[in-house]
Amino acid sequence: AAETGGDEMEAVKNYFNTAGFERWRKIYGETDEVNKVQMDIRTGHQQTVDKVLKWVDEEGSLEGVTVADAGCGTGSLAIPLALRGATVCASDISAAMAGEAERRFQEALKATGGRPPKVAPKFEAMDLESIPGKYDTVTCLDVMIHYPQDRVDGMITHLASLANNRLIVSFAPKTLSYSILKRIGELFPGPSKATRAYLHREEDVEAALVRAGFKVTKREMTATNFYFSRLLEAVRQ
Ligand code: SAM
């Protein structure tokens, strides 16, 4: 099983360094080179990011707060966190993604004319289960979709070991209606189906968080036509 897991992780990494990189950098971008489905996903994903930013803003200044953003993609969350003064370590299994996130951070800094955070963010190519260190907050948005259920426990255990206070994760929820939708989606093969997508039961994710010593304190759900994401904030007990 471990070997299958390794192969699958290699496939995810290759995808997000090649065709997946091209697809997702457009979806997570601002240009109009996206189709209707991709635009819908862009809108839904941005809502998830905005919900996280609202949560962190409600808690006060991020100045000097350390954050690890695991599976940062193009930096949709890591960049606004860094621009709010957080000390950000962003990483992604895809070097192309981590590089794009860094490029967008430099661009955003120029565009806002804002002050760079006291500590410059780091963008690294790394599997999230290899991230070292300790952080006030660990975030991991829409990455679990690449994890089969039997690897979720290990993933959450590792992310939890990095978090001194808070863990923010989002995942595609496994409910009957979303399982049916996913099945229908699979009947229409397309370039987007280059990796498998896994839905997760909220109870399973929550149980893993509890086992790791965390308690869920906030929940949100974002659903557009083609984007579904359950968002949880958990704090160390
Ligand atoms: N978190 C970002 C966001 O919300 O904008 C990106 C989400 S994107 C759907 C999933 C990302 O997870 C991809 O950039 C992919 O390369 C990354 N990823 C998948 N498996 C990973 C792993 N094991 N470790 C680190 N990153 C991973």
Taking CA atoms, 8 is separated from 3, 125, 191, 219, 232, in Å, by 8, 17, 17, 29, 26
Domains of the chain: total:
1
Pair 83, 114: CB distance under 8 Å: yes
Taking CA atoms, 163 is separated from 52, 55, 73, 139, 214, in Å, by 16, 17, 20, 9, 10
> Nearest CA to 68 among 185, 169, 144?
169
Where residue 227 sits, what CATH number does that domain have?
3.40.50.150
- Pocket of ligand 1 contains residue 170 by CB under 6 Å: no
Q: How far apart are CA 178 and CA 184, in angstroms?
A: 10
Q: What is the pLDDT along the chain (237 residues), one digit of tens a residue?
A: 444 567 889 999 999 999 999 999 999 999 999 999 999 999 999 999 999 999 999 999 999 999 999 999 999 999 999 999 999 999 999 999 999 999 999 999 988 776 778 889 999 999 999 999 999 999 999 999 999 999 999 999 999 999 999 999 999 999 877 778 777 777 665 555 567 889 999 999 999 999 999 999 999 999 999 999 999 999 999
Per residue, what are the HEC states of 79-93? HHHHHCCCEEEEEEC
**For the whole prediction, is pTM greater than 0.90?**
yes
Range of the domain at 225: 2-236
How far, in Å, from the CA of 64 to the mean position of ligand 1? 25
Q: How far apart are CA 59 and CA 157, in angstroms?
A: 25
pLDDT in tens, 80-105: 999 999 999 999 999 999 999 999 99
How far, in Å, from the CA of 73 to the mean position of ligand 1? 5
Taking CA atoms, 141 is separated from 111, 113, 186, 196, 219, in Å, by 25, 27, 23, 17, 13
Question: 166 forms bridges with which residues in the sheet?
Answer: 137, 235
pLDDT in tens, 16-40: 999 999 999 999 999 999 999 999 9
How far, in Å, from the CA of 65 to the mean position of ligand 1? 22
**66-70 and 135-140 beta bridge pairing:** parallel
Instruction: Give the ligand 1 atom nearest the CA of 9.
Output: 23
